[in-house]
Amino acid sequence: MKRATSAIVAEDLVRVYKVSRGYFEPAPSFELWGGRFLYEVLMRNLRKQVIHALRGVSMTIGRGEFVVILGPNGSGKSTLLKILATIIPPTSGRAEVMGYDVVRERREAARQVSYIPSLLGTTAWAKPMLTVEQNLKVMCRLFGFPFDEVIRMAEELGLLDLMKRPLGSLSSGQQARVGLVIGLLKRSPVYLLDEPTMGLSPEASRLVREHLRELNKRYGITVVYVTHHPLECEGIADRVVILDRGRVVADASPDELVRKAGVEESVTIRVYNAYFDLRQVVNKYDVRYLHLKTLHPEVGEYELRVGMRSLDEALPRLLEEIISRGAKISRLDVRRATIEDAYLYYVGGGA
Ligand SMILES: Nc1ncnc2c1ncn2[C@@H]1O[C@H](COP(=O)(O)OP(=O)(O)OP(=O)(O)O)[C@@H](O)[C@H]1O
Ligand SMILES: [Mg+2]
């Protein structure tokens, strides 16, 4: 094994996808003389659109770090993870996992990672008629993994009561937890997880995160955890990388991220009777981001979430202006800034 100092290195990763622009129906006369075949070939090869999923992503992840990758839908998180898991190659740029290049040394690089695209996907290999215990035993034998340790994992994930139940009879969240155990039977230096808590209840997803954090601490496993819920970072992430439209827009520890975003406090204001441009009014004040939700435009009802450096001065003036323009305030909630506010700032809450 190579002695790499970093678990993951990505340099200027670019990934484009080419997809068809869609078909249109050719004229009936086109059907003659194999025209349909020619048409299909032309459509497939000429009418292409290019999608830039990653536009130059660079990052270094140290050994034993727990990194959360955050970003809105379509920002390139899954694409990045697939490149690191050697499932797809980058269009340009390079990436290394534990010192192995994901393209030139693909086989070795693939051995360094456990890629878990979704927890339910990992139970696809399991047999629904067999009990959870039987399934896990089969998998353990397959992967050469000690069963005692699986029992410990099952205990931590609250699965012990379910061990004698057929896998197929479990609820989807319970199956997802079994999926996590199966996904983790390949013990690798690097775990790549793509939204592992999707569809899980809050307490189940907390169990999953705590379990991953425990593995990270106990065995020094590097964990890259993809999600679009900023609050999932709390208490687990050493570092947070925010992707937006294929670019890294922030890369720091959770606390640093909040500090760098310059948001000290955030206020949520619900107004009605607001028949003027709220965005323009709010932007007159020193706001770091504004997230505007339209509730019932016919009665001028909106919800504003505003992040500010300090509310002391600006908030009373902002409220006064809103009221003086004829709007009514139905709810007001002031909180200290969290990672969610920093996230909204970086992905363009759009102040
Ligand atoms: N196989 C594909 N073919 C064409 N375009 C793709 C493909 N996979 C992803 N894309 C596009 O690349 C961009 C990034 O997609 P990606 O799946 O990496 O986003 P994501 O951050 O994981 O989003 P989500 O939070 O919705 O899972 C999107 O615009 C998406 O439409
Ligand atoms: Mg995704």
- Do both 98 and 126 map to the same domain? yes
Would you say residue 142 lies in a domain? yes
Last residue of a domain, one of 211, 228, 258: 258
Q: How many domains does the chain have?
A: 2
Contact 290, 350 (CB under 8 A): yes
Last residue of a domain, one of 236, 258, 280: 258
Would you say residue 1 lies in a domain? no
Neighbours of 45 (CB within 10 A): 10
Q: Which ligand is nearest to the CA of 82?
A: 1
How close is the Cα of 293 to the center of ligand 2, in Å?
24
Would you say residue 83 lies in a domain? yes
Question: Which atom of ligand 1 has the smallest separation from the CA of 195?
Answer: 27
Per-chain mean pLDDT for the chain: 88
- Do both 251 and 296 map to the same domain? no
- Sheet harboring 328-336: ordered strands across? 287-296, 301-308, 265-272, 328-336
Structure confidence by residue, pLDDT tens digits, 100-117: 999 999 999 999 999 988
Residue of 13, 16, 17 to test ligand 1 pocket, by largest number of atoms within 8 Å of CB:
17
- Do both 77 and 89 map to the same domain? yes
- Do both 185 and 266 map to the same domain? no
Q: What is the CATH number of the domain that holds 144?
A: 3.40.50.300
> Of all protein residues, whose CA lies closest to atom 4 belonging to ligand 1?
17
- Do both 33 and 147 map to the same domain? yes
Cα torsion for 66, 175, 85, 243, to the nearest 10°?
-60
- Do both 280 and 254 map to the same domain? no
Would you say residue 107 lies in a domain? yes
- Do both 190 and 330 map to the same domain? no
> Of all protein residues, whose CA lies closest to atom 22 belonging to ligand 1?
78
Last residue of a domain, one of 213, 228, 258: 258
Lowest average pLDDT, out of 36-40, 229-233, 250-254, goes to 36-40
Quick check: 1 pLDDT over 70?
no
How close is the Cα of 343 to the center of ligand 1, in Å?
20
Q: Write the DSSP assignment of 40-107 as a string of letters.
A: HHHHHHTSEEEEEEEEEEEEEEETT-EEEEE--TTSSHHHHHHHHTTSS--SEEEEEETTEETTTTHH
Range 178-189 average pLDDT = 87
Question: Which atom of ligand 1 has the smallest separation from the CA of 82?
Answer: 18
What pLDDT does 26 receive? Answer: 65
- Do both 121 and 82 map to the same domain? yes
Q: Which ligand is nearest to the CA of 347?
A: 1
Separation in Å, CA 302 to CA 88, 289, 326, 347: 43, 16, 14, 21
Question: Which atom of ligand 1 has the smallest separation from the CA of 15?
Answer: 12
Q: What is the CATH number of the domain that holds 298?
A: 3.30.70.260
How close is the Cα of 50 to the center of ligand 2, in Å?
18
309 sits in which H/E element:
none
- Do both 37 and 149 map to the same domain? yes
How close is the Cα of 128 to the center of ligand 2, in Å?
27
Structure confidence by residue, pLDDT tens digits, 37-94: 777 777 777 777 889 999 999 999 999 999 999 999 999 999 999 999 999 999 999 9
- Do both 23 and 138 map to the same domain? yes
Q: Is the pTM of this model over 0.75?
A: yes
* Residue 81 domain boundaries: 6-258
Would you say residue 104 lies in a domain? yes
* Pocket residues: Cβ below 6 A from ligand 1: 17, 19, 51, 53, 71, 73-79, 228
- Do both 78 and 117 map to the same domain? yes
Question: Which atom of ligand 1 has the smallest separation from the CA of 246?
Answer: 14
Would you say residue 151 lies in a domain? yes
Quick check: 254 pLDDT over 60?
yes
